[in-house]
Amino acid sequence: MSAVHQVSARRASRGPSLYTLSFWLLCVSNFLFSASFSMMIPELPAYLTKLGGREYVGLIIALFTFTAGVSRPFSGKITDTVGRVPVMAFGSLVCFLCGFLYPYLITVGGFLTLRLIHGFSTGTKPTATSAYVADVVPADRRGEAMGMLGLFTAMGMSLGPAIGSWLATDFSMNVMFWTSSAFALLSIGILLQMPETLVNRQPFRFGLLRLKKEEIFDKHALPPFIVQLLQAFSSGVILTIISTLSTSLGITNKGLFFTVYTIASLGVRLLFSRTSDRYGRVPVLFISSAILAVSMVLLMLTDSTIWFWAAAICYGMSWGMNTPTLQAWTADLSNEHTRGRAMATVYIALEAGIGLGAVASGWLLNHVASESGIAASFAAAGLLALVAVGYLGWYWQKSRQPVHPHRAEEDETTLLDGEL
């Protein structure tokens, strides 16, 4: 067999192409979307202070996260009924409108109201995006697909703040806000070129916003929900106190930690995108949770920049594995007809974990001696990461245990009854 025929045979054996036009369009749209809302984050504390709202700086992230979390169950239901593309477009539309309006609502109340509304963007688009990816890629390559999509998202969140700070410094805050709005508009334009993947669509009606109890939480997504909640606590801690730790170590650029961990995360996604497809979701999450615990311990004990940067690399490596694997695992466990709800469930855990980590570390920083508060915050995050390791170890062992044939038949019948 010739070399050309061998290559063709290998491609055929891998099944349908993963990197279709729709997938690449989704990646580019995600890059623009993540860059849109992240480019203003570094400049907002100083901007709010100039408006006279210094005491409300802590609400910049809190209000945004709160609305994102509250909107998750609704976005999950609309994603499963109206469609994936409309929900994604709505999220980008919110970014477009908020970016455009920031320069005109120049009171503290107006600004905080916009932050509250802006949170609907990340409460909707990521949910529908994850469901869309699960629809268009083969099940045995979901980890690779989520990793590639996450690569574009991470690039947007990494480059966005740098672009925003440059625009605000060399031009003006208004130019930065309008550029953010333009990025979101481009994201919408791309989304409108993509085919819808939901088969049995319904027209939108306000009655769909009435949620039943079972529509808020997808029980199939409980395992990834638990792991996400335990892991996301560390993100809240990082966002809240890493700048304080940077200053104490004499690092003047407070954003360098984020740059280093983003680069590490991108490297992991590029080199190990198919790892969870080959070896399983749970083993990869077990390792990534252990690495996350190591990064928190390093930050807790650090007294030099060497350990600080080592912690940033470990943190980035962990999240480079965590995010795509959790999304792929959720898609694996979910029912095809309620996939949006399952994705929304795990994103609720993300928002809750970040919020709890931010509140807890903020309280410790303000009520305990600075160094002790920082150490205690990272210790708590490391402990929860270890709890995730223990849970995943138990789940892994349980899933490998042989199932009695009669019990397997009963479980399958129960599952079918539940789906019907």
Per residue in 203-239, pLDDT (tens digit) is: 988 888 888 777 778 888 999 999 999 999 998 888 7
pLDDT of 12 over the 60 cut: no
Domain 215-400 has CATH 1.20.1250.20: yes
In this predicted structure, what is the pLDDT of residue 419? 38
Domain ranges of the chain: 18-196, 215-400
pLDDT at 58 over 80: no
Contact 285/394 with Cβ under 8 angstroms? no
- Among 54-58, 97-101, 404-408, the minimum mean pLDDT is found in 404-408
Evaluate whether 22 touches 137 at the Cβ level (below 8 Å).
no
d(CA 303, CA 249): 7
Q: Read off the pLDDT of residues 371-410 as tens digits, 9 standing for 90 and up.
A: 788 889 999 999 999 999 999 999 988 877 654 444 444 4
Same fold, 18-196 and 215-400: yes
Query: How far apart, in whole angstroms, are the C-alpha atoms of residue 306 and residue 114?
Result: 40
Q: Judging by beta carbons within 10 Å of its beta carbon (0-12, 13-18, 19+), is residue 215 exposed, middle or buried?
A: middle
Let me know: does 218 contact 348? Beta carbons within 8 Å.
no
Evaluate if residue 9 carries a pLDDT over 60.
no
Q: Distance (Å, rounded) from C-alpha 156 to C-alpha 163?
A: 10
**Domain at 18-196: CATH code:** 1.20.1250.20
Which has the higher per-residue pLDDT, 227 or 415?
227
The Cα 303–Cα 380 span in angstroms is 19
pLDDT digits (tens, 9 = 90+) for 309-357: 999 999 999 988 888 899 889 988 888 778 878 888 888 898 888 878 8
pLDDT over threshold 50, residue 130: yes
Three-state SS across the chain?
CCHHHHHHHHHHHCCCCCCCHHHHHHHHHHHHHHHHHHCCHHHHHHHHHHCCCHHHCCHHHHHHHHHHHHHHHHHHHHHHHCCHHHHHHHHHHHHHHHHHHCCCCCCHHHHHHHHHHHHHHHHHHHHHHHHHHHHHCCHHHHHHHHHHHHHHHHHHHHHHHHHHHHHHHHCCHHHHHHHHHHHHHHHHHHHCCCCCCCCCCCCCCHHHHCCCHHHHCCHHHHHHHHHHHHHHHHHHHHHHHHHHHHHHCCCCCCCHHHHHHHHHHHHHHHHCCCHHHHHCHHHHHHHHHHHHHHHHHHHHHCCCHHHHHHHHHHHHHHHHHHHHHHHHHHHHHCCHHHHHHHHHHHHHHHHHHHHHHHHHHHHHHHHCCHHHHHHHHHHHHHHHHHHHHHHHHHHHHHHHCCCCHHHHHHHHHHHHHHHC
The whole-number pLDDT of residue 401 equals 62
